[in-house]
Amino acid sequence: MGLFAKLALFVVGGFVLFMSFGMWLSQSPEGQARQRDRRVIESCLADMSDPLRSAQHREAARYMCERLRDDFRRKHGREP
């Protein structure tokens, strides 16, 4: 087996391990909580930018989105 083949095998193996680790992290209870919190924030942002909603509703949604983002940062230590 040549040097190029060994290097390619090493790179592919590293990629597979990296993806497996990422899948394992996303399936943990903490990963699932982060995903759930992100979906709530995405829903809030969609509600905030809906032009069919009243100005009061969009303002309230903007306030809630900011609170949800702050809670996410405090709880998970990263940006949503």
Number of structural domains in the chain: 1
pLDDT score, position 37? 92
Half-sphere exposure of 23 (CA within 13 A, CB side): 6
pLDDT score, position 26? 66
Q: Which domain range does residue 62 map to?
A: 3-76
Interval 6-59: pLDDT, tens: 887 888 888 888 787 777 766 778 888 888 999 999 999 998 888 888 889 888
CB 69 within 8 A of CB 80: yes
Q: How far apart are CA 1 and CA 13, in angstroms?
A: 16
pLDDT score, position 25? 66
pLDDT at 67 over 90: yes
